[in-house]
Amino acid sequence: MADNTVIRLMGRRLRLAVIGGGPGSFIGAMHRQAARLDDRYELVAGALSSDPARSLVASMSLGIPPERSYPDGHSLINAEAARSDGADVVAIMTPNDSHYRFAMLALDHGMDVICDKPMTNTLVEARALHDKVRTSGLVFCLTHNYSGYPMVRQAKAMVLEGMLGDVRLVQVDYVQGGRAKPGPGRTTWKEDPARGGTSLVLGDIGTHAHHLLRFITGLEVAEVAADVGAIVPGRQAHDYAGALLRLSNGARGNFWVTQAAAGVENGLRIRVSGALGSLEWQQENPQVLHFKPLDAPAQLRTPRGPGTLPLAARASRIAAGHPEGFHEAFATLYTDAGDTIAARRSGTPPDPLALFFPDAADGLHGLRFVDSAIASSRNNGAWTVV
Amino acid sequence: MADNTVIRLMGRRLRLAVIGGGPGSFIGAMHRQAARLDDRYELVAGALSSDPARSLVASMSLGIPPERSYPDGHSLINAEAARSDGADVVAIMTPNDSHYRFAMLALDHGMDVICDKPMTNTLVEARALHDKVRTSGLVFCLTHNYSGYPMVRQAKAMVLEGMLGDVRLVQVDYVQGGRAKPGPGRTTWKEDPARGGTSLVLGDIGTHAHHLLRFITGLEVAEVAADVGAIVPGRQAHDYAGALLRLSNGARGNFWVTQAAAGVENGLRIRVSGALGSLEWQQENPQVLHFKPLDAPAQLRTPRGPGTLPLAARASRIAAGHPEGFHEAFATLYTDAGDTIAARRSGTPPDPLALFFPDAADGLHGLRFVDSAIASSRNNGAWTVV
Amino acid sequence: MADNTVIRLMGRRLRLAVIGGGPGSFIGAMHRQAARLDDRYELVAGALSSDPARSLVASMSLGIPPERSYPDGHSLINAEAARSDGADVVAIMTPNDSHYRFAMLALDHGMDVICDKPMTNTLVEARALHDKVRTSGLVFCLTHNYSGYPMVRQAKAMVLEGMLGDVRLVQVDYVQGGRAKPGPGRTTWKEDPARGGTSLVLGDIGTHAHHLLRFITGLEVAEVAADVGAIVPGRQAHDYAGALLRLSNGARGNFWVTQAAAGVENGLRIRVSGALGSLEWQQENPQVLHFKPLDAPAQLRTPRGPGTLPLAARASRIAAGHPEGFHEAFATLYTDAGDTIAARRSGTPPDPLALFFPDAADGLHGLRFVDSAIASSRNNGAWTVV
Amino acid sequence: MADNTVIRLMGRRLRLAVIGGGPGSFIGAMHRQAARLDDRYELVAGALSSDPARSLVASMSLGIPPERSYPDGHSLINAEAARSDGADVVAIMTPNDSHYRFAMLALDHGMDVICDKPMTNTLVEARALHDKVRTSGLVFCLTHNYSGYPMVRQAKAMVLEGMLGDVRLVQVDYVQGGRAKPGPGRTTWKEDPARGGTSLVLGDIGTHAHHLLRFITGLEVAEVAADVGAIVPGRQAHDYAGALLRLSNGARGNFWVTQAAAGVENGLRIRVSGALGSLEWQQENPQVLHFKPLDAPAQLRTPRGPGTLPLAARASRIAAGHPEGFHEAFATLYTDAGDTIAARRSGTPPDPLALFFPDAADGLHGLRFVDSAIASSRNNGAWTVV
């Protein structure tokens, strides 16, 4: 990872406030360590739990002073905005239905925002938030964290360099087993449509798969024909979604996500074929990118190995052959966003390689895709414009 | 492979005649060595090429006497049927459009048939041939050879034994690169719809993927929503097909086949998830079957390794850890069919484990699937009953 | 990773001072993030570089106050020992020849020590330091970081649980390519015997391989027959070492380390066979432990997957299927040592699962092995007692 | 595989007689199918079992006429030599102690010989047989079958082409689990030193590993320092052997073979590093050769894939991506030997690419290596000239 030059130009690290991610939260711990890994942020305030007492205890264990431990996100944003040393950046990791209101309020107060995915639960909200970000000029980072892996960055860079030629075929699948048994999984609010959104599987992991496809190929999903539903007996919330895709350049795609595949851990996988070769990447073995050129031997690309492009090198912190993982990929988004925020705040031009973090436009594309896939599924699988 | 007990009951090997597979044919050599590997057949007659001179030379090089080298399939069948020592079995490996007429004629003459896939080019022919086989009582083996791999047999046997519980989700993809470049591939007749059938990619490899799914799961594809077309600039013949599937028990499926993935060799892959676990198999590393039980460590199953079920053990000829491949898998179909033919001809009950070779019903299902997928694709991706 | 209960009992994080690891150091950044990941430490003082000006700049960029940025390790230890709020723990990541004197001084002042490997450059020093640690009652952690990987811990725990039966055969190899070209590698001081020790390859990576073998099996290397030397033309420093091993229970072993394997990244690999099964692990794909039981299907064990034992679960911070890597494995040592230090300082019994970090006895065993291997190599490969 | 041009020049296939390999023999079936796969041989005579009745039944089931089914190898050789249509080639697959006498007798009668490994049980016999072959001008093929794999041929060809530069480091290991339990394994005569030779593990699989190393690198083992013995309680016959190697060009090597690794199937593996890159190959996944160039991305080479060299292409019979295995690799030796024998017998120059099958010189090198390793082991691991 590049040195934190811009942060140093500002004379200090960014002040970060977190909303959500309290005791027992998988993603809360992930956000906080991601913020810290590359030293772009200091954690100054939090509203960690909807239970004020738990929130206070959690804040203290993280070194947040009691007076900056808030009972809820609204209090946090309003109070921090009123402080001269208030938070620069708000990170939102609450259940999906509250992303919108916290993000809008933070932007209203001139704070930059880092927000968990999916960006919102509805397309209407996504549009409004996207517009808000655009007019505000503030930074909005959406944590589609898989795009932070060095070899995903390498894949994108290879496509950008033309090493695949025109992209023709894409297959992305995200297969998990966390909801293979009847009954709710670990995170129960996700099964409640009011909180988790219309489609559990599409919001939870489908948007990751969709973003990964767009990130690597640089293409949009133009049309979708989908089948979305629940396959485990007794479940209401969607636990699988299959889709056929037509991409913005005419390429074809295949999409398959489920959380009902018994015994599978976290199987996110993508294959991209262009006129000149194919790429394959799997999240469970993230240090290897398979590259199969048209008429030359297949290659294994690794972080910092020969042929690593700058975008991938920036996302790696260690010598070749020393595995990095999920934590570091997540942190890369925070660091990219941090560098961009610091540049904005210090009036300097941002590092072009820092600008590849997912943003509100990506969030809006994600919600459009979810909506279109559900519409297609309800309409007998008809092709539906995204 | 079991000893050829039944063949010995007959007192001799089966007399085999081949139609097609002459000089330069990949699949012809494959059929002939498959017939020979386990000693169930002796090659007695051939019509190897549509060019009589080449046919004669090819026959001689295979040890076929000149008087049993025929200029075409019709002559072969008629002449062999007239001999007291004529062929018992006719193997057909000609371009797809002639499968029907040779198979029908052979059956008319009481010969058992082994036929390359797809069974026919049209659904009408497939229905007629299927009926013919049923009423004839003869054996018809369709060479969906991937079902002959030991670990594919193991997967089927594990599903049959209930080790996966109810099947819920299936993903099958067959990705090749042989048609990634514009222009015809190696086998030019396949690009001609009159000879190769309506859909090049579905006939050539889609029927393999479809059969593999049905073979392992024991389920039928009930409905399909598909997108089938040509993605390589300038090509008319289909080179990709994506489909969403609803299986006969309500399970959902995802299907993706293409011959336009630059740099990919022969990537046939399947994943099956049931209530109790998931299976994964890849043709390019065929000796390993991944089994991921619901609440126990993932397993790697290997031929003749611990836990090998009888159906898989029958399909392996060698000690554990000694790789077998495509040749042997292909031969397993010939041997199974041979044992079944010999049992029929000797009036003995067939070995139940020999009865898993693909047959005319499989061929008919394949053609129905191809037709339905094309119909769906033409009908804006609408769900179409197979 | 377990919550930092003991640290909270102390009412504060451990105060950490670092010696070495200044600008451009790979291992310095590694130590510091390892100290921080699980919040057991706060960095309070440093002597980061032998150049005072660079040391000051580096300290400031890490948030160390100028008055606690020291020009060298001796000043640091003496001054911190004199402060009421002085460092609890000193972490040493200087060139090998200074490990001994800094560690001895820190122990003299009652500070716990975390030290990079190899522990010392000579066996004499190793013995003295080991004695010192024992008599001091202080904690000494040696960063053989590969023992911090969750699946290495799982392997150890499986051996401890008797799942392998008596260990009979061990093969460990550590193959890198960093010194495949003539000339010095990245870290030039390592090629100087006065600073890097008698045997570059044995000190740098051989001690890692040796420790990994001992850690997983719980056995000692009793005798060694070795060949150690330089294979790249023009190099003096050892770049390969092969050895045959006799372990303390009579098991046999094979050992192979080199930094001259062109194109290889960081290939540390171990296989252990016992009466009841075999284990295999590779550092470059660290999330998978292969377990091959005697008469049951081979298994793939993963962190937090089914069958994960407590020692492995403690070393993982994330849900199954989310890769962790080198950073986290390194941090596990810091956290284990931190919990043990905090327990000692608070007078509470340590968590038994925290006690698996490498210590001075491991360092002494490592130096003995290096010495014995070199002696054997010089003595025509004779078996040499370690 | 190349067409059998030379065989056709002779006007017929080679007449093959087999000694050994009767009912229940793993290796007998392997030899016979290997002889048949590429049509270079017809099986005309056999002495399949030391029990004349079983021998007769076995011969008949293979289509050998009763008058050419012999009660023992001596009768076979003498009788066939006396026939005008007698066997051209004798294939020997009896227990090791009889290889020498059958091979010598066959050569005396002007027959070419194909012989299972190890060539003999003693170095004295190996020298005599090697001399005999040389003076006879006849062909002697020793079935070190792993050298027949396409990707092993590719590795050799890449070394020959200079793609690795000077070879510096080699690691070969052959790990099996067939003798992990106390008591004799499947083939009991192998445990009897009089029949199986001085060192079970070295004769059975050590000679394979040794030959593989020599085949790929083109180097000889000049000196060895070894530890050879029995690790499973109660066993007398050697079940493990470790060795350090010095190769003829000064390169260093590591060697590790065992049949006592519980749960392991057939793990033969080799790594070769030269000045310009490294190669890795594993028998259990034989279609992939890893090539790691010094300063370019790692490659996966596959049979018939891009960059396949002629020596490898000759050893493959099928399109890229269609797995071949142990059977085909074994057959490649038979075919190479057959083409060379046919050329000799027809007085035409042999195909240079057919000349890579192992021969009597390889057998002699193997016995020398076994003897030297045992001598070293008995001499406290001293370096011993091979």
pLDDT band at C11 (very low <50, low <70, confident <90, very high): confident
Q: Examine the domain organization and report whether A164 and A140 are in the same domain.
A: no
Do B263 and A293 count as a contact with CB atoms less than 8 A apart?
Answer: yes
The pairing of beta strand D167-176 with beta strand D266-274: antiparallel
What confidence tens digit (pLDDT) does each residue in A99-129 have? 999 999 999 999 999 999 999 999 999 999 9
Q: How confident is the model at residue B183 (pLDDT cuts 50, 70, 90)?
A: confident
For residue C276, the chain D residues in CB contact (below 8 A) are 262
**In angstroms, rounded to a whole number, what is the distance separating the alpha carbons of residues A321 and C286?**
11
Read off the tokens for D143: 């079935």
Q: Residue B159 belongs to what H/E stretch? A: helix B150-160
Q: Which residue of C has its CA nearest to A24?
A: C3
Residue C229 contacts D, CB cutoff 8 Å: yes
User: Which of C158, C291, C300 has the highest number of chain B CBs within 10 A, making it the mutation to test binding with B?
Assistant: C300
Same domain? A209 vs A107: no
- The answer to whether residues A165 and A310 belong to one domain is yes
Q: What is the DSSP string of B303-320?
A: TTSTT--HHHHHT--S-T
Residue D325 sits at the chain B interface (C-beta within 8 Å)? yes
3 state SS for chain A = CCCCHHHHHHCCCEEEEEEECCCCCHHHHHHHHHHHHCCCEEEEEEECCCCHHHHHHHHHHCCCCHHHECCCHHHHHHHHHHCCCCCCEEEEECCHHHHHHHHHHHHHCCCEEEECCCCCCCHHHHHHHHHHHHHHCCCEEECCHHHHCHHHHHHHHHHHCCCCCCEEEEEEEEEECCCCCCCCCCCHHHHCHHHHCCCHHHHHHHHHHHHHHHHHHCCCEEEEEEEEECCCCCCCCCCEEEEEEEECCCCEEEEEEECCCCCCCEEEEEEEEECCEEEEEECCCCCCEEEEECCCCEEEECCCCCCCCHHHHHCCCCCCCCCCCHHHHHHHHHHHHHHHHHHHHHCCCCCHHHCCCCCHHHHHHHHHHHHHHHHHHHCCCCCEEC
**Which residue segment(s) compose the domain that B45 sits in?**
5-146+333-355
Whether A289 is covered by a domain: the verdict is yes
The neighbouring-strand residues paired with C221 are C247
pLDDT at res. D199:
92
| pLDDT tens digits along A25-57 | 888 989 999 999 998 999 999 999 888 888 888
Could A307 and D296 be called an inter-chain contact, meaning their C-beta atoms sit closer than 8 Å?
A: yes
Does a structural domain hold residue A328? no
Span C312-352, pLDDT tens digits: 999 999 999 999 999 999 999 999 999 999 999 999 999 99
Å between A209 CA and nearest CA of chain D? 27
- Indicate if the pLDDT at residue A1 is higher than 60: no
Q: In chain D, which ranges are continuous DSSP H helix?
A: 5-10, 26-37, 52-61, 73-82, 99-108, 123-136, 150-160, 193-196, 200-201, 207-217, 310-314, 326-346, 360-378
State whether C345 and C373 are in the same domain.
no
D70 domain residue, yes or no = yes
Tell whether D301 lies on the interface with A, counting CB pairs under 8 A: yes
**Chain B residues within an 8 Å CB radius of D266:** 319-322
End-to-end, the C-alpha distance of chain C in Å comes to 36
Contact predicate B216/B150, CB 8 Å = no
CA-based nearest distance D308→chain A, Å: 9
Q: Are residues C307 and C183 in the same domain?
A: yes
φ, ψ (nearest 5 deg) of residue A203? -70, -40
Residue D185 in this model has a pLDDT that exceeds 80: no
DSSP H helical ranges for B243-359: 310-314, 326-346
Indicate the pTM of the whole model.
Answer: 0.96
Arithmetic mean of pLDDT over chain D: 94
Task: List chain A residues with CB under 8 Å of B294.
Answer: 177, 180-181, 262-263
pLDDT band at D290 (very low <50, low <70, confident <90, very high): very high
Predicted confidence at residue B193, as pLDDT, reads 82
**Is D290 near chain C, with CB under 8 Å?**
no
Can you tell me the distance from the alpha carbon of A50 to that of A95, in angstroms, rounded to the nearest whole number? 11
- Per DSSP, the three-state class of C112 is strand
Statement to judge: residues D198 and D346 lie in one domain: no
- The model's pLDDT over B227-256, given as tens digits with 9 standing for 90+, comes to 999 999 999 999 999 999 999 999 999 999
Q: Do the Cβ atoms of D284 and B285 come within 8 Å? A: no
- D61 has a chain B CB within 8 A of its CB: yes
Q: Which residues from B are below 8 Å from D283, CB to CB?
A: 321, 323
Peptide bond into B350 cis (omega under 30): no
- Given an 8 Å threshold on Cβ–Cβ distance, is C323 in contact with A33? no
The structure tokens listed for A293 are 């050129």
Within a domain: D47: yes
Q: How far is B276 from chain C (nearest CA, A)?
A: 14
* pLDDT higher than 90, residue A60: no
* Interchain proximity B291–C297, CB inside 8 Å: yes
Q: What is the pLDDT of residue B54?
A: 85
Task: Tell me the average pLDDT across B41-65.
Answer: 89
User: Beta-strand (E) ranges in chain C?
Assistant: 14-20, 41-47, 89-93, 112-115, 140-142, 167-176, 221-229, 240-247, 252-258, 266-274, 277-282, 289-293, 298-301, 384-385
- A33 → chain C, closest CA residue: C37
Element holding B254 (H helix, E strand): strand B252-258
My answer on whether C139 and C155 are in the same domain is: no
Same domain, B138 and B219: no
Could D307 and A301 be called an inter-chain contact, meaning their C-beta atoms sit closer than 8 Å? no
In degrees, rounded to 5, the angle at the alpha carbon of residue B6 between the alpha carbons of residues B4 and B11 is 95
Contact with chain C for residue D273, Cβ under 8 A:
yes
> Is residue A43 within 8 Å of residue A69, measured between CB atoms?
no
Over range A337-348, report the average pLDDT.
Answer: 95
Q: Which of A169-183, B367-381, D192-206 has the lowest mean pLDDT?
A: D192-206
What is the token pair recorded at D5? 């041009």
Q: Is the dihedral of CA B148, B154, B158, B164 positive or negative?
A: negative
- Would you call A305 and D298 a contact, using CB atoms and an 8 Å cutoff? yes
Residues of chain B contacting D302 with CB distance shorter than 8 Å: 265
| Number of structural domains in chain D | 2
The SS3 assignment for D274 reads strand
Identify whether D65 is preceded by a cis peptide bond (ω within 30 of 0): no
D201 and D82 co-located in one domain: no
Q: Which residues of C touch A36 (CB under 8 A)?
A: 36
Which of A370, A347, A367 is closest to A358 using CA atoms? A367
- Going by the DSSP 8-state scheme, the letter that residue D119 receives in this structure is S
Q: Which DSSP category does B188 fall into?
A: G
Residues B171 and B132 in one domain: no
- Name the residue of chain B whose CA is nearest to C291's CA: B299
Asked whether residue A326 is assigned to any structural domain, the reply reads no
Chain D residues in contact with B328 (beta carbon < 8 A): 325, 327
Length of chain D, in residues: 386
* A29: CB partners within 8 A, 6+ apart: A21, C317
Cβ contacts (< 8 Å) between D293 and chain A: which residues? 306
Residues B369 and B342 occupy one common structural domain: no
Are C325 and A320 in contact (CB < 8 Å)?
no
pLDDT of residue B4: 64
Out of B5-14, C269-278, D74-83, D211-220, least confident range: B5-14
Q: Please check whether residue D284 touches B, CB under 8 A.
A: yes
Q: CB distance from C163 to chain D under 8 Å?
A: no
Q: Which subunits sit against B, judged by 3+ Cβ pairs under 8 A?
A: A, C, D
Q: For residues D257 and D243, is the Cβ–Cβ distance under 8 A? A: no
Q: Are residues B154 and B140 in the same domain?
A: no
CB nearest C328 (choices: A36, A319, A327): A327
Per-residue pLDDT at D384: 98
**Is A154 a domain residue?**
yes
Phi, psi of B142 (to 5 degrees): -105, 130
Name the residue among A171, A244, A260 with its Cβ closest to that of B168.
A260
Q: What is the pLDDT of residues D51-97, one digit of tens each?
A: 888 888 888 888 899 999 999 999 999 999 999 999 999 999 999 99
Of D295, D298, D302, the CB nearest to A299: D298
Q: What is the mean pLDDT of chain C?
A: 94
Distance from CA of C358 to the nearest CA of B (A): 29
- Pair type for strands D112-115 and D221-229: unpaired
C251 contacts D261? CB cut-off 8 A: no
Given this model, what pLDDT does residue A278 score?
A: 98
pLDDT of residue B171: 98
DSSP string, C127-155: HHHHHHHHHHT--EEE--GGGGSHHHHHH
Interior angle at CA B191, CA B189 and CA B194, nearest 5: 70
Q: Does C300 touch chain B (CB under 8 A)?
A: yes
The DSSP annotation for C276-327 comes to: TEEEEEETTSTT-EEEEETTS-EEEE-TTSTT--HHHHHT--S-TTS---HH
Instruction: Give percent of chain A with pLDDT exceeding 90.
Output: 87
CATH number at residue C100: 3.40.50.720
Nearest CA distance, A314 vs chain D (angstrom): 18
What CATH code is carried by the domain that includes residue C231?
A: 3.30.360.10
A324 assigned to some structural domain: no
For residue A259, the model assigns a pLDDT of 97
Residue C325 maps to a domain: no
